[in-house]
Amino acid sequence: MIDDIQFLIGKDSTQEEFFHTFNALVDAGRQIIVSCDKSPSDLSGLEDRLRTRLGCGMVADIHATTFELRVSILEVKAKASGVIIPIKVLEFLAHKITSNVRELEGALNRLIAHATLFNRPVTLDIAHEVLHDILRAHDRRVTVDEIQKKVAEHWGIRLTDMSSARRARNVARPRQVAMYLSKQLTSCSLPEIGRKFGNRDHTTVMHAVNRVAELMQQDGMLAEDIALLRRMLENI
């Protein structure tokens, strides 16, 4: 198993060694699992002979876990441990820890160890007490700057367009979406959000929020884009 294969880009000697190792393992009937942040065909800078070999295997796009999947993972782990953990506690963990399954399982293991060592029933209060450091780290709110950057990347516009006076549709719509997400995902007031978008008036932000909410009811593709962006931002 090899993680982050993209880090071989630009390292010719390492690629050469990996190429021969790859061939030797395949010739021996072994299986190789490789992870990357891109599809093999998009790994520019990696030798063609390596990209074609990576592409000939089964390529799977791994998405972020859903709430339901995280709960299911916890249920299986809890059942295997033999410790009774209420579903409300499992749902609480699945809601709070969304970015990393290993960290999610680690939090559950800590709860199980605590319950076993101290012979205490697992409750929500106990979960807060035992996991306070992990939960505090995951309580960080998304910032307007992060939202602007992610939205700009998604629609291929410049970050400076978020605060510019440009009114072209291909710029104005992403800007409105960023304002909408800023209202949904941050605790900033409308005037505070407006200042982040080129000192715009709070009424402009309110119009953008209402307009995007209306468009989401009419445009399924836009609603999907916004749902995707929201998941990405919540998992930062």
Helices (H) and strands (E) in the chain, counts: 12, 0
Are 79 and 158 members of one domain?
Answer: no
CA dist 114 → 19, 84, 138, 209, 226 (Å): 47, 12, 21, 45, 40
pLDDT at 236: 58
Q: Choose the final residue of a domain: 109, 137, 165.
A: 137
Give a yes or no: residue 14 inside a domain: yes
- Total domains in the chain come to 3
Query: Is 93 in contact with 106 (CB distance < 8 Å)?
Result: no
Residue 126 lies in a domain: yes
Do residues 106 and 47 share a domain? no
Mean pLDDT of 134-162: 86
For residue 67, which of 230, 226, 216 has the smallest C-alpha distance? 230
Let me know whether 45 and 72 are in one domain.
Answer: no
Judge if 151 and 222 occupy the same domain: yes
Whether residue 62 is contained in a domain is answered as no
Chain centroid to Cα 92, Å, comes to 18
What was the pLDDT predicted at 119?
A: 92
Tens-digit pLDDT profile for residues 91-104: 999 888 876 788 89
- The reported pLDDT for the residue numbered 138 is 62
**In 3D, which of 195, 200, 185 has the Cα closest to residue 236?**
185
> Does a structural domain hold residue 185?
yes
Assess whether 117 and 180 both reside in one domain.
Answer: no
pLDDT of residue 89: 94
Looking at residue 56, what is its pLDDT?
A: 84
Q: Are residues 220 and 149 in the same domain?
A: yes
Reduced DSSP (H G I as helix, E B as strand, rest coil) percent helix, strand, coil of the chain, to 5: 65, 0, 30
Place of tokens 């959000």: 193
pLDDT at position 132, please? 86
Write down which residue in 137, 168, 198 finishes a domain: 137
User: Over 70: is that where the pLDDT of 139 sits?
Assistant: no
Nearest to 140 by CA among 190, 196, 99, 94: 99
| 61, part of any domain | no
pLDDT at position 131 over 80: yes
Position 60 in a domain: no
Point out the least confidently predicted range of 64-68, 124-128, 149-153: 64-68
Coil vs helix vs strand at 28: coil
- The whole-chain average pLDDT of the chain stands at 88
Residue 148, exposed/middle/buried by CB under 10 A (0-12, 13-18, 19+)? buried
Q: What percent of the chain has pLDDT over 90?
A: 53
Is residue 182 domain-shared with residue 209, that is, in the same domain? yes
Question: Are 119 and 190 in the same domain?
Answer: no
Tens-digit pLDDT profile for residues 157-204? 999 999 999 989 999 999 999 999 999 888 788 899 999 999 999 999
Q: What is the pLDDT, as a whole number, of residue 114?
A: 94
Asked if residue 162 lies in contact with residue 178, where contact means CB atoms within 8 angstroms, the answer is yes
**Does residue 221 share a domain with residue 192?**
yes
Task: List the domain range (segments joined by +) for residue 180.
Answer: 144-234
The whole-number pLDDT of residue 174 equals 96
Q: What is the pLDDT of residues 6-41, one digit of tens each?
A: 888 888 888 899 899 999 998 999 999 988 877 787
